[in-house]
Homo-oligomer: A and B are copies of this chain.
Amino acid sequence: MADPTPHLTADSKDTEDSTPGLRLFALLELIGSKDHFVSLQSLAEETGIPKPTVFRMLQTLENGGLIIRQSDKRQYGTGTRLRRFAETLLLNATQVGSRHAVLQALVEDLGETCNITALSGNEILYLDRVETQEPLRFNLQSGSRVPIHCSASGKVLLANMSRAQRHKLLRYVPLKQLTANTITTLEELDEELKVVQSNGFAIDNEEFMSGLVCMAIAVPTAHGRSNQCVAVQAPALRMTVEDAVALLPKLRDAAHALFEIETEGSAFAPRTTPTPDSPQIRI
C-alpha cells in the first residue's frame, strides 16, 4: 500500500522508527546518550521493544564494533568505531561551521533572529538558526519543521519551481489556515508566488503565526533550482514588512556567502544569481 498521506511529523521529536535500520540507530542513540553502561533489560524497558529483539539488535551492533560489552557480558556501552565516527563527523562538519558563522554574523548585523532553511519532503526544515538578543522573540528549534504554504521560505522555494512540480508537491499538502492571513487556496497561492518570483524574495506577513513577520530569499546554486533559503524573522511589533524589505541587501550578501560555502571547491564562484540591481518590488 503506497502511503498517499505524508506524515506531518510537525515538531514531535519522536524518532520515526519506520524501518529496522532506523530502529537500530535509535537504539544506538539511546546507548550513546548514557554516561554509563546499560543492561539489555533496561534498554528493552526504555524502548518498549521486546527483549529477544533488543538482544539481536545488540548482537548486531556488537558484531559491527559499534558497541562493546563489559567484562561480565551483561552491560553495553559505546565502542571505538562509534566514537571515531562521532569525532570524524564533527571534524568534517566544517560546512556547518561556516554556515553557522555566516548566520551569526548576519544576526549580529541585523539584530533579529535569522534562519537557514531547506525543503524536506513537503515541509520546510530549519537547518540552522541563530536567535536575536532581544528579550521578545519566538522560539523555534533548529531541526524543527513548518508548513510550506505559510512560511516565507516555503513560498520562495515554491516560486522557484515549475508550475507542474509545484502542483505535484502541493497536491497532498493541506493549505491549513493557521492565522487570519494564511493563504488557503491554490489560486491565491499561485498569484502570490508570481509576486514572489518577480521580487526575488518572499514575505510571511503573520501567515504562520500571529505577530510574526518573516522574509526569505533563496540561496543561489551553481546548477539547478535552489533548495535552501536564508530568512530573517521578528515580531511584527519590531519589524514591519517595509522594515524587512529594507534588510534585503544584507540578506543577499549572506545568501551569496552561503552559496560560496556550498560550492566550496570551485576556486572561482561565478555569481549565478541574476540579481538585477534594482528589481521593482511589489508588496
Interface residues of A (CB under 8 A from B): 15-16, 18-22, 24-25, 28-29, 32-37, 57, 60, 62-66, 68-74, 77-102, 104-105, 118-123, 125, 127, 142-143, 165, 168-169, 171-174, 219, 221, 223-228, 257, 261-266
Contacting pair B32 A172 (CB below 8 A)? no
| With known contacts A63-B18, A66-B25, A90-B120, A227–B72 Cβ distance under 8 A | yes
Q: Please indicate the chain B residues that have their CB under 8 angstroms from the CB of A95 in the complex.
A: 35-37, 77-78, 83
Contact residues in B for A81 (Cβ distance below 8 Å): 143
Assess the B22–A64 pair: CB atoms within 8 A: yes
A to B CB contacts below 8 Å, 23 in the list: A16-B63, A18-B60, A32-B93, A35-B95, A36-B264, A68-B125, A68-B264, A69-B120, A71-B228, A80-B266, A82-B89, A83-B89, A85-B86, A87-B221, A87-B228, A90-B90, A91-B227, A93-B121, A94-B168, A98-B172, A100-B121, A101-B122, A171-B261
* Residues of B with C-beta under 8 A to A263: 80
- Chain B nearest CB, measured from A111 CB (Å): 16
Q: In the assembly, what is the distance between CA of A168 and CA of B265, in Å?
A: 9
How many identical chains are in the complex?
A: 2
Residue of B nearest to A226 (CB): B71
> In the complex the two chains form, is A77's CB within 8 Å of B90's CB?
no
Q: In the complex where A81-B143, A92-B35, A122-B97 touch, is A64 in contact with B262 (Cβ < 8 A)?
A: no
User: In the bound complex, what is the Cα–Cα distance between A28 and B228 (angstroms)?
Assistant: 22
A60 contacts across to B, CB distance below 8 A? 18-19, 21-22
Alpha-carbon separation in the docked complex, A99 to B104 (Å): 33
State A121–B96 Cα separation when bound (angstroms).
Answer: 6
Contact indicator B120/A68 (Cβ below 8 Å): yes
Shortest beta-carbon distance from A33 to chain B in Å: 5
Docked-complex contact B22 and A25, CB < 8 angstroms: no
In this complex, which of A93, A99, A263 has the most chain B Cβ atoms within 10 angstroms of its Cβ? A93
Option from B15, B18, B69, B174 in Cβ contact (under 8 Å) with A227: B69
- A89 touches which one: B64, B86, B97, B174 (CB < 8 A)? B86
* Of the residues B21, B74, B79, contact of A24 by C-beta under 8 Å: B21
Complex Cα–Cα for A94 and B37 (A): 6
A120 to B73, CA, bound (A): 9
Q: Which residues of B contact A228 (CB under 8 A)?
A: 70-71, 87
CB distance from A208 to the nearest CB of B (A): 17
Quote the shortest CB–CB distance from A89 to chain B (angstroms): 4
By a CB distance below 8 angstroms, the chain B residues around A82 are 89
A63 to chain B, nearest CB (A): 6
In Å, the complex CA distance between A125 and B37 comes to 18
> With the chains together, A223 CA to B221 CA distance in Å?
35
